[in-house]
């Protein structure tokens, strides 16, 4: 069945470093992917998304890379700041379905 998972449950970085959070998905029929940031006790916040017809998309300080060959998604955060500390989730949408499948999340810890 479909599933989304993350390689690293916790990532610790120093302020100013670049962070890379990885996500593996198993369903090749997924056509849309999205990254969310969730701070403690709050709802997930949209960061960036990408469609399956693209392999890279950039936002402000963030870049999402999609490798369909190996079913891998990554979120790159440039010049990581303490305010970036949170849990990051990836999610995939199967073509024709109106629901997302979420991974378990990666906790990003940024030290000053």
Asked if 34 touches other proteins (CB under 8 A), the answer is yes
Told to check if 58 binds other proteins by CB under 8 A, we report no
b/e burial code for range 90-104 (CB count within 10 A of at least 16 → b): bbbbeeeeeebbebe
Q: List the interface residues with other proteins, window 62-101 (CB under 8 A).
A: 89, 93, 98-100
State in angstroms the smallest separation of the CB of 83 from other proteins.
17
User: Of residues 25, 36, 64, 66, which one binds other proteins by CB under 8 A?
Assistant: 36
Exposure letters 7-23 (e unless 16+ CB within 10 A, then b): eeeebebeeeeebebbb
28 lies in the binding site for other proteins (CB under 8 A): no
25 binds other proteins (CB under 8 A): no
CB proximity list for 42: less than 8 A, separation 6 or greater:
none
Nearest CA to 11 among 92, 88, 71, 72? 88
Q: Which of these, 14, 22, 11, lies nearest to 81 by C-alpha position?
A: 14
Nearer to other proteins, 84 or 103 (CB): 103
Residue 17 interacting with other proteins (CB under 8 A): no
Judged by the rule CB under 8 A, the positions of this chain that interact with other proteins are 32, 34, 36, 41-46, 49, 89, 93, 98-100, 102-105
């Amino acid at each position: 069945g479909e599933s989304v998972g993350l390689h690293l449950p916790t990532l610790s970085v120093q302020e100013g470093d670049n962070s890379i959070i990885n996500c593996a998905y198993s369903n090749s029929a997924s056509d849309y992917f999205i990254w969310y940031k969730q701070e403690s006790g709050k709802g997930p916040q949209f960061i960036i998304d990408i469609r399956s017809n693209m392999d890279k998309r950039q936002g402000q300080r963030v870049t999402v890379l999609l490798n369909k060959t190996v079913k891998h998604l990554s979120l790159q955060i440039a010049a990581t700041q303490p305010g970036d500390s949170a849990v990051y989730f990836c999610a995939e949408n199967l073509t024709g379905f109106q629901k997302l499948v979420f991974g378990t999340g990666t906790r990003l810890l940024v030290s000053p």
